[in-house]
Amino acid sequence: MQNNSRKNISPPAPATPVVVELASLRHRVAGMLYELLLLIGVLAVGFLFPWMLLSSQLDLNPTPAWVGKLQLLHVLVLLGIYFIYNWHRSGQTLAMRTWRLRVVTAGGGNLEWGRASLRYVLAWLSVLCFGAGLLWAFFDLDRLFLHDRLAGTRVVRLPQKA
């Protein structure tokens, strides 16, 4: 009597590697502009509403200088949480998903917390230095922004889903 409990299972087919390419400068800039629109919502939820409530309770007139500094710090921390968490978790923010962009390490891996945090800080410096870190892409051989070059990250364009 033959044992039929053993099924003839063929080995799985080898996985086809997903080919990704560095995102073009045009796609990265478009993604950044779209990200600015989406950040209005992030800031409204995490910044605007709490500060409106708080300012009506404090009724500080004139507003002390420390309040403005606290607001700036609040914005930087709030945006930091948004970007660092998303870059670490999936390599993508909501805008990046729309444009099929993903932040990866130079080797193509996921960003760990430290590298995502470093990229966030360097990105602010790139923008605040009159955009010099963004203009760097015109001179970089791989068209990377300066913060990506220094953080060891890349923005890649994901293939379209079939």
Residue 162 lies in a domain: no
Residue 82 lies in a domain: yes
Residue 111 lies in a domain: yes
Number of domains observed in the structure of the chain: 1
Residue 45's pLDDT band (cuts 50, 70, 90)? confident
Q: Give the whole-angstrom CA distance, residue 23 versus residue 107.
A: 15
120-145 average pLDDT score: 96
100-107 average pLDDT score: 96
Residue 15 lies in a domain: no
Query: Could you tell me if 151 and 119 are in contact, meaning their C-beta atoms sit under 8 angstroms apart?
Result: yes
pLDDT value for 3: 56
Residue 37 lies in a domain: yes
54-78 average pLDDT score: 76
Residue 14 lies in a domain: no
Query: Could you tell me if 51 and 71 are in contact, meaning their C-beta atoms sit under 8 angstroms apart?
Result: yes
pLDDT value for 64: 74
pLDDT value for 67: 73
Residue 139's pLDDT band (cuts 50, 70, 90)? very high
106-126 average pLDDT score: 97
Residue 10 lies in a domain: no
pLDDT value for 6: 54
110-139 average pLDDT score: 96
86-95 average pLDDT score: 97
Percentage of the chain beyond pLDDT 70 is 81
Q: Which domain holds residue 86?
A: 21-157
pLDDT value for 100: 96
pLDDT value for 160: 87
Residue 5 lies in a domain: no
Residue 52's pLDDT band (cuts 50, 70, 90)? confident
